[in-house]
Chain A
Amino acid sequence: MEVTLSVRRFDPDADRPAPYFQDYTLDLDEGSVVLDGLIAIRERIDGTLALRCSCRSAICGSCAMRVNGQAMLACNTKIADAMASGGGSVVVEPAGNMQVIKDLVVDFAPFWDKVRAVRPWLQADGPAPGPDEEYVAPNEDMLHLAGVMACIMCGACVSDCTVLEVDERFLGPAALAKAYRFVADPRDDADRARLGELVEYGGVWDCTRCMQCVEVCPKGVDPMGRIMAMRDRAIEGGYDDSYGARHASAFTDMVEHSGRVDELRLPLKTKGMLNAPEMLKLLPVGLRAQLKGKRPPIIHRKNPGQDNVRRIFEKVES
């Protein structure tokens, strides 16, 4: 089949380095993946095209890039599928949220720094097992963790994370998924210290739950689900005083009380009524809403039949 790949290129050694698109048309087998196309370009047309790859079987995690605007593994993405969903075109760009070094190669240094920052190794108390022994863990716990350990550190999730787009201090989905791998490991004894760090700025509460990482991860790691699980563990573990934790708790209490969320009181309860600077910040928002007749009702009425909803809370929470 004849295909055209439109590749975003960048040459740092150019006189005036600036990204540009270059189209390559070539003949490929029906089942070819994007990586086949890129390697064919490099071998047959243009030896200057820079890209990373190794295993060609979705194992090594080297080849994450954006195809038609979404991060994926080039070796795992059929050109025909990309053409079908992209209305005929195949636009190949480097992964996002990371500095481009050349063409499709991006700088992973911050990625690894963040993975390292969550201390991705087992921290067990007590004596280490002897030479013929090992740490023992229940099978089902390890099966659960296998889902996270499937991560191949490809950075697709980091590429498309919406928070990283506005704040590079966010640890990001890959590092946080890795943190969960140890927080949820029954052999690890540093949970408290880990969670204590993870509720700080840039940690679990800064994720905006956009599900980009869930959608683009080629290995089903579900980073966002892991982040949500750590929020729960953090609250359970007593780290319940961050804005995020108070927001989740105030929200849940409202649904229990009236069946509905009360947008007037939710920010007040999250920030704390006695938190003067934050209350001052909310004032103009409230005032503008008031002037436009958009302020939520002051008297927040309960839904009819709310007793039934409350009973569910009691049952499930007990």
Chain B
Amino acid sequence: MRYAFYPGCVSRGAAPELFAATTAVCEKLGIELEFEPMRSASCTGSGVLQEKNLRLGDTLNARTFALAERTGLPLLNICSTCQGVMSQANQRLTSDAGYLASINEDLAEEGLEYRGTVDPRHLMWVIVEDVGLDSLRAQVTRPLTGFKVAPFYGCYIVRPTSALGFDERPERKDALERVIEAVGAEVVDFPGKTLCCGFPILTINETNSVKMVANHTLDAKKGGAQAMVTPCPLCHLNLDGYQPQAAASARQPIDLPIIHLPQLLGLALGIDPNAMRLNKHIVSTGKLLSDMALTP
């Protein structure tokens, strides 16, 4: 299994633990990540750049797709937001030949052309669709039996369903729950799992953003969650990084560790927590790890 690897901005910026955990887990699972040919790929625009200029966003993503196409490998990403923005861009690009041709004109100078053959996929989907949950289960060396984990998807990997291939692949709807179960943990269901973490309005309306963090983390805790797992580093930035503010606004302690999806996989695959920088979270994962008897 080889993939053209698109790590996104955050895993190389504010969430280096995601990058570390991804590479360690993929190595364990025999997923080869080719980053070199993708190094010059830009940010997807994250939906923010698209607010200013949709066509610009589509051109940048077409360029990324063209780079991936040149490698002949399927494109893998590790961020719900990257996934959604790429899927939406791809839908526009591949459903209108005239539009794609005009976008390609702007790529031509660099010798690139997007032929429309890329199907960008998040690691979470790749685990379910390519690795297979049975194979994952068989490779688990430290089943997380008895641990209660709440899923948190991130908006862009669940909406709009029309762009995400949910009709052809209905297993994408609950992929996160299925991965949590495959590593032996118990799923804590709660209504906020597919809702917004509040990150996009953090710098615009911090009060509302932080209220969302408080609502979701407290709901998950009410359901008995010992940790929350997310495939989205932007959700992580808010749910982990702003949990102290959320606790202050809700006037109660929260202390719910937020784990990146690859970190959850890594724990079950026996990877050293420190190698996945689990000791570098804002909300300490110490108690969770010691409860799991995983502290090094």
Taking residues whose C-beta sits less than 8 angstroms from the other chain, chain B's interface range is 35 or more
Q: Which residue of chain A is the closest to B43 with respect to CB atoms?
A: A255
B209 to chain A, nearest CB (A): 8
Across the interface, B106 reaches (CB within 8 A) one of A259, A297, A304, A315, namely: A315
Contact A208 B49 (CB under 8 A): no
Asked if A4 CB lies within 8 Å of chain B CBs, one says no
Asked if A178 CB lies within 8 Å of chain B CBs, one says no
Contact B204 A244 (CB under 8 A): yes
Asked if A146 CB lies within 8 Å of chain B CBs, one says no
Asked if B42 CB lies within 8 Å of chain A CBs, one says yes
Contact B106 A312 (CB under 8 A): yes
Cα distance, A304 to B35, chains bound together (Å): 12
Contact A209 B47 (CB under 8 A): yes
Residues in B with CB closer than 8 Å to A214 are: 159-160
Q: In the complex, how many residue pairs between chain A and chain B have their CB atoms under 8 Å apart?
A: 182
Q: C-beta contact mask, A190-234 vs B, less than 8 Å → 1, else 0? A: 000000000000000111111110110000000000001001100
Asked if B9 CB lies within 8 Å of chain A CBs, one says yes
Contact A247 B195 (CB under 8 A): no
Contact A215 B161 (CB under 8 A): yes
Known pairs A247-B48, A262-B13, A308-B63; A288 contacts B244 (CB<8 A)? yes
Q: Which residue of chain A is the closest to B284 with respect to CB atoms?
A: A292
Which of A15-23, A119-127, A265-273 contacts the other chain? A265-273
* Main DSSP-derived SS at the A contact region: helix
Known pairs A260-B42, A270-B203, A293-B280; A212 contacts B198 (CB<8 A)? no
A128 to chain B, nearest CB (A): 36
A21 to chain B, nearest CB (A): 15
Cα distance, A220 to B45, chains bound together (Å): 24
User: Quick one: which of B58-95 are within 8 Å of A by CB?
Assistant: 59-60, 63
A216 to chain B, nearest CB (A): 9
Interface residues in chain B, defined as those with a beta carbon under 8 Å from any beta carbon in chain A? 9-10, 12-17, 39-43, 45-53, 55-56, 59-60, 63, 106-107, 109-110, 155-156, 159-161, 191, 195-196, 198, 200-209, 211-212, 215, 237, 241-242, 244-245, 277, 280-282
Beyond known contacts A255-B49, A311-B109: 20 more, CB 8 A cutoff: A162-B195, A166-B208, A167-B211, A206-B205, A208-B212, A209-B200, A212-B195, A214-B160, A232-B52, A243-B203, A259-B43, A260-B12, A260-B42, A292-B282, A293-B280, A294-B282, A303-B42, A311-B110, A312-B106, A317-B56
17 contacts between A and B (CB under 8 A): A166-B212, A208-B198, A208-B200, A210-B155, A210-B196, A235-B52, A247-B203, A248-B51, A259-B40, A260-B12, A260-B13, A262-B13, A289-B241, A294-B241, A294-B280, A294-B282, A295-B14
